[in-house]
Amino acid sequence: MLVLVAAGAAAGVGALVAPPPVAAAVAVLAVVAAALLLPRGRPATSAAAPVTAATVPSADTASVDVQASVGPLLEGLYDAILLVDGDEVVRAANPAAERLLGRPAGSLVGQSVIRATRDHNLTQVAREAAGEAREVDVEGRRVMRTTAWRVQTAGIATVLVMEELTELRRAQRARSDLVANVSHELRTPIAAALALAETLEEGVPDEAQRARFHRQLTEEVTRLGRIVERLLHLSRLEQAAEGFETEVVEPSDLLETAATRIAPLVGTDQRLHVELGAAPPVLADRERTLEVLANLLENALRFSPPGGTVTLLAEAGDGEVCFGVRDEGPGILPSDRARVFERFYTGDRSRDREAVGTGLGLAIARHIVARLGGRIWVGDSERGARLCFTLPVAPGPDAASR
């Protein structure tokens, strides 16, 4: 019904005969509907002319409450809509606009546009009313698609339509970053494997050298497979597609098992030290927690210098147990701390590639810890880096799996 009224009004259909309040409501609805029907992103043309007083019925609006007349009919619209008069005062707003602008119900009507939107960019769009869709940066942290049309009917001068794009743009950037990072990480092992395969195909007379090339080829293919496997694992974790089975686990068991499993990766000139304080049992998925510890330990060993010590520890907290891995490497820059658990984020890439790694292990650890109800962060350390995470204390010795 709204579309039909707007189409008729915008096309210049004969004037409707109705009492002033009703006529005003119909006029405003025609303005809104015609505005929403105009092609987004293009100025109005003769095929979709801007709505003016000549194309919709006018009314004596001095005594007309636009919000009361039109508000109920705007409630179901997805787009956020503000109807603004010639003094830049909001005469009507729908619930979508209140949610988008973070304002209480009914608080926008009667406010100036600048007070209602709290943003100069949105106010400028309303003032220009160019009829073109524009992406506006709001408060430096949100993106909105906005369109404003100039109208003159029923006391309304401008129709401002807004749509939240922040999450959409963030998802698009994340997708682009993922493609770029995957391409970057896969390029090196693929290129190395191809070069080794071509060399072997051409023939290598020396048997020892040929064996070395075969070994290097196997290592590159294994590395490539590990990257793909971790990517798939991380994707399933992000989509909550992997099941978790929690049980009561002793911190001492976790630390000792993690140390045993990581032992083959400890260099001959490195030391692994385990510190276990008085820590109660935790409620966790044992294998998933061991995976977190393995990822943190691998990261620490990668950056630990010759003669350095990597410390694995656990200590009791308030309703939780704090696990930590500390190394004596170069540490983590303050500017990197907030992003170190993002996938593919490796901080300073000017460092040795083998030491930097792919940045997937810590991202996987973050998702696992979150699924287990814990927290993970970069702790303070006088030397090197300290990565910490927590797990909730088990409710009792008879805690059941969930």
User: 203 and 105 share a domain?
Assistant: no
Question: Alpha helix (H) ranges present in 239-284?
Answer: 251-262
CB 61 within 8 A of CB 155: yes
Question: Which residues have a Cβ under 8 Å from the Cβ of 22 and sit 6 or more positions away?
Answer: 69
331 and 209 part of one domain = no
The whole-angstrom separation of Cα 347 and Cα 263 is 27
CATH of the domain at 275: 3.30.565.10
390 contacts 322 by C-beta, under 8 angstroms? yes
Tell me the chain's radius of gyration from C-alpha atoms. 31
Q: How high does pLDDT run on average in the chain?
A: 77
Please report the pLDDT score of residue 350 as a whole number: 38
User: Hey, which residues does 141 pair with through a beta bridge?
Assistant: none
Distances (CA, A) of 367 to 219, 248, 292, 322: 28, 20, 10, 17
Which two tokens mark 98?
């209140």
Burial of residue 347 (number of CB atoms within 10 Å: 0-12, 13-18, 19+): middle
What is the arithmetic mean of pLDDT over 66-92? 81
Are 130 and 193 members of one domain? no
Q: CATH number of the domain that 95 lies in?
A: 3.30.450.20
Classify the phi-psi angles of 30: left when phi > 0, otherwise alpha if psi is within -120 to 50, otherwise beta: alpha
- The structure tokens listed for 267 are 């260099």
- Give me the sheet containing 156-164, strands edge to edge: 90-93, 80-84, 156-164, 142-153, 134-138
What total number of domains does the chain contain? Answer: 3
pLDDT one-digit tens code per residue, 252-275: 999 999 999 999 888 888 999 999
β-sheet bridge partners, residue 284: 247
Q: Based on the fold, state whether residues 248 and 316 are members of the same structural domain.
A: yes
How remote is the C-alpha of 399 from its chain's centroid?
Answer: 35
Provide CB contacts within 8 A for 167, sequence distance 6+.
none
What is the domain range of residue 204? 171-242
Q: Are residues 388 and 250 in the same domain?
A: yes
| Residue 240 φ/ψ, nearest 5 degrees | 55, 35
Same domain assignment for residues 22 and 36: yes
Query: Are 28 and 88 part of one and the same domain?
Result: yes
Task: Based on the fold, state whether residues 112 and 234 are members of the same structural domain.
Answer: no
Yes or no: say if 38 and 131 are a contact pair by the CB < 8 Å rule: yes
Q: Are residue 282 and residue 339 in the same domain, yes or no? A: yes
Q: Nearest Cα to 160, choosing from 208, 113, 200, 194?
A: 113
Total-model pTM: 0.56
Residue 32 pLDDT > 80: no
Residue where the block lists tokens 């979150």: 370
Boundary-marking domain end, from 164, 189, 205: 164
Question: Within this chain, do residues 154 and 303 fall inside the same structural domain, yes or no?
Answer: no
Distances (CA, A) of 272 to 288, 307, 387: 21, 11, 15
At 42, the pLDDT band (50, 70, 90 cuts) reads very low
Round to whole Å and give the CA distance between 233 and 239. Answer: 10
Confidence of residue 348 (pLDDT cuts 50, 70, 90): low
Residue-wise pLDDT for 155-179, tens only, equals: 788 888 998 888 888 877 777 766 7
Of the three residues 164, 182, 204, the one that is the final residue of a domain is: 164
Q: Which of 141, 139, 134 has the alpha carbon at shortest distance from 162? A: 134
Instruction: Give pLDDT, residue 335.
Output: 82
CATH of the domain at 184: 1.10.287.130
Q: Do 131 and 231 sit in the same domain of this protein?
A: no
Both 385 and 264 in one domain: the answer is yes
- Mean pLDDT to the nearest integer, 46-58: 37
Task: Determine the straight-line distance between the first and last CA of the chain, rounded to whole angstroms.
Answer: 52
Which residue, 242, 265, 287, sits at the end of a domain? 242
